Structure 1
Amino acid sequence: MNIQAFKENLGVSDLPEALEKLIQFQNEHSGFEEYAQGFGVLIDDKSGIKSWSEDEAFLERVHPFAQANGSGSIYALWDKDASGNLDGLPVVVFGDEGGVHVVASNILELMQMLLFDSEISVDFDEVYFYKDEDDYEESEGHATFKDWLKKEFNLDPVEDPDTLVQEAEEKYKENFDRWFEQYYAD
């Protein structure tokens, strides 16, 4: 994936360092959905999130950047203060069958969650990670991803990514929900 095209698609001149390095990792060491189950950075035209709202004020503050699971849920950065600076923004998931949730306080937290190597489950009321240890098969490039994250960002796997989701929700859910409801009503 071309990083310049990715930036142009998001309408920014700079990406958070972690996101730019993740794109480089995906380009050079692995492939889409090969290093974390269901996940891949992609260029998104916002057509998927337009099902929630086509209001320009909404679309200007939500920046889709990755597929969250194999069924089509999307991760996006939420520009919580309309600064236009994507660094340090919370990550939101838009579920393919509904449900919108804050899942990480920033890109680095999301990358740490990806070390769990399980797709995120998204429904209307909750979001969670689940791994059936008896049926689990590690993603092809996961070991390389794990080593890379340790080297680049000193990140270790988390036993339970849902704890990071809960922490992010505690920080941002109330404000996100209040902002989001002006564009989307159930």
Structure 2
Amino acid sequence: MVKQEFTALFKGYKIPKELMNLLEFQVSENIPSYYSNAIYLMTEEASLIESFSTEEEFLKAFIPFAEANSTGSIYAFWINNKEIDDLTQAPIVAFGDEGGVFVVAKNIQELLQIAAYDVEAVVYEDEFYFQDKEVLEEEGEFTPAEFYSEYLDWLRSDAKLKPILTIEDVDTLVEHAQIAYQEKLEQYIKQFV
């Protein structure tokens, strides 16, 4: 049932195999709780995108698929090219629960690597970042996801991806993705607001 609900979110697009594998991992009996503070797959439609625009073209351009943090921000694929049929190459954006839309990663593989950092995204109307885990730990404000080590194992063995484990590497990936797509994203959104 969960698989059907998740599949329905993708509006007919083929779901990247890494995401289907992650869904199987997420719903397995061995993983009854969170595995990363940075991502958790959704199984129901998110209405957050509609708070930015209700125009059909805008809504069709984004496929929300995961929670980005505990306050309601979400990740979505941005289909920035009408001919795109392979979501593995679509950039990932975060829609903030307090406003703001930001490019996070160039593709789903990068997002899964960033999720290995295990820190939730901070999304404001004019700012997006991941906090430094070491600082959070020093301040007693970091609690690792319960099944974090299992996620790292899954990432390495099933997804065949290298975990990103430092804030510097996370920031570099996000920065490169934003250089490639953020200005285009902002220009796109301006058409609808």
Same fold by TM (over 0.5)?
yes
Query: For the residues of structure 1 that align with 2:63 and 2:32, how far apart are their CA atoms?
Result: 21
Among the aligned pairs, what percent are the same residue?
Answer: 36
Q: Indicate the residue corresponding to 1:150 in structure 2.
A: 156
Whether 1:168 aligns to 2:177 is: yes
Q: Indicate the residue corresponding to 1:10 in structure 2.
A: 10
Within 5 Å, which residues of 2 pair with 1:21-60?
21-28=21-28, 29-31=30-32, 34-37=34-37, 39-60=39-60
Whether 1:180 aligns to 2:181 is: no
Stretch moving more, 83-92 or 70-79:
83-92
Kindly indicate whether the alpha-carbon contact (under 8 Å) linking 1:46 and 1:59 is maintained by their aligned counterparts in 2. no
Kindly indicate whether the alpha-carbon contact (under 8 Å) linking 2:9 and 2:64 is maintained by their aligned counterparts in 1. no
Query: For the residues of structure 2 that align with 1:35 and 1:168, how far apart are their CA atoms?
Result: 24
Q: Indicate the residue corresponding to 2:119 in structure 1.
A: 118
Which consecutive aligned stretches of 4+ in structure 1 deviate over 3 angstroms post-superposition?
Answer: none
Q: In the superposition, relative to structure 1, how do residues 82 and 156 fare at CA in structure 2: closer, same or farther (>3 Å)?
A: same
- TM superposition shift of 1:13: 5.1
- TM superposition shift of 1:21: 1.2
Within 5 Å, which residues of 2 pair with 1:38-117?
39-83=39-83, 85=85, 86-117=87-118
Kindly indicate whether the alpha-carbon contact (under 8 Å) linking 1:76 and 1:91 is maintained by their aligned counterparts in 2. yes
Stretch moving more, 153-162 or 54-63:
153-162
- TM superposition shift of 1:84: 5.2
Query: For the residues of structure 2 that align with 1:78 and 1:141, how far apart are their CA atoms?
Result: 29
Query: For the residues of structure 2 that align with 1:46 and 1:137, how far apart are their CA atoms?
Result: 26
Q: TM-score under structure 2 normalisation?
A: 0.88
